[in-house]
Structure 1
Amino acid sequence: MPTKSILLIEHEASIREVLHTCLIEFGGWRVTLSNSIQEGVDLCTTICPNAILLDTSTSETDALIFLEQLKQYSITQSIPILLITARANWFTLRQLHQMGFAGAIAKPFNPSTISTQVSSLLGWNDGD
C-alpha cells in the first residue's frame, strides 16, 4: 500500500522541523512542508495529501481567509485537516467536526506519540 502523505503547515521553523522528523520517523509518512497557510493553499493545488496538519497560531494578516480557502479545498477533495494548537482543549471533537476539522492535537505535543495521535484522529491503522 502506498505511503500516506501529510501537508504540514507550521510557521515556526524549529517546531516544523521537529514535527517533520517525527512524522517521517515514527509515522513513516511523506511530509510536505509549508510555513504559511497561503503557501499551504497553493500547495494543495499541486499535491494531493492524505491529510493536512495545521498550526493555528499564525501571524498572517489574512489567516482566516486562507483558512477558509484551505477548508473549502480540503472538503471538496475530501482531505481531513487536523489542528495543532495550544487551544486544542477548548473544543470537543464534535465541535471541531462541525467547524470542518478532523480533530486537534494539543501543544506542547509529545514528539514520540505525535504520529500515534495523528493516526488515531484520522482512523489510519498501522501499515496504512
Structure 2
Amino acid sequence: MSTKSILLIECEASIGDVLHICLSELGGWRVTLTYTIQEGIDLCRTLHPDVILLDTSTSEADALIFVEQLKEHSIRHSIPILLITSRANWFTCQQLHQMGFAGAIAKPFDPSTLPVQISNLLDQMNRHQEPSEFGTQSLEID
C-alpha cells in the first residue's frame, strides 16, 4: 500500500510545523507544507496529493481568488479539500460541499487524533458522494 500524500496550506509556521509532525509521524502521510494559498496552487500543478488541508485564515490579499483557483484545480483532479479552521462549526456538511469543500476540522485540534479525523472525513466523502460532485465552477488556474 502506498503512502497517502497531503498538501498542507497553513499560514502560521508554528501550527504548520505541528500539523506536519502529527500528520507525518502519527498518520503516516507524506506531507508537503506551504504557507500561502498561491504556493499551494503552484505545488498542485506538479504534485497530485490525495487531499489538501487548507487553513483559510490568511493575510493574502487575493485569498478568495486563490481559494477558488485551488478548488477548480481540486475538482479537475478529484482532490478533496478539507478546511482546518476555528469556524468549522459554522457550516453544515451540506453547506461545505456546496462551497466545494469535502469537510472541515475545528481548531483547536487534537494532534493525536487529527490523522484519524482526516481519514474519517475522507471515508464519509467516499461513501456519500463521488469526488467530482463536491465542487462548484470557479476560476481557471492554467
Q: Name the TM-score class by shorter chain.
A: over 0.9
Q: 1:20 maps to what in 2? A: 20
Structure 1 stretch 32-41 or stretch 115-124: which is displaced more? 115-124
Q: 2:78 maps to what in 1? A: 78
Displacement of 1:123: 1.1
RMSD: 0.9
Displacement of 1:26: 1.3
What SS does structure 1 have at the residue aligned with 2:46?
Answer: coil
Query: Which runs of 5 or more residues in structure 1 are unaligned?
Result: none
Distance 2:91 2:8 in 1: 21
What are the Cα deviations for residues 32-66 of structure 1, in whole angstroms up to 9, with x where unaligned?
01100000000000101000000010000000000
Q: 2:96 maps to what in 1? A: 96
Query: What letter is aligned with 1:84?
Result: I
Distance 1:53 1:77 in 2: 15
What SS does structure 2 have at the residue aligned with 1:94?
Answer: helix
Q: Return structure 1 stretches of 4+ with deviation > 4 angstroms.
A: none
Report the number of matched residues. Answer: 124
Query: Which runs of 5 or more residues in structure 2 are unaligned?
Result: 125-142
Q: 1:53 maps to what in 2? A: 53
Distance 1:27 1:119 in 2: 9
Displacement of 1:30: 0.1
What are the Cα deviations for residues 54-85 of structure 1, in whole angstroms up to 9, with x where unaligned?
00100000000000000000000000000000
Query: What letter is aligned with 1:89?
Result: N
What SS does structure 2 have at the residue aligned with 1:123?
Answer: helix
Q: 1:43 maps to what in 2? A: 43
Distance 1:69 1:83 in 2: 15
Q: 2:113 maps to what in 1? A: 113
What SS does structure 2 have at the residue aligned with 1:49?
Answer: coil
What SS does structure 1 have at the residue aligned with 2:68?
Answer: helix
Indicate the percent of aligned positions where both proteins have the same amino acid.
Answer: 73
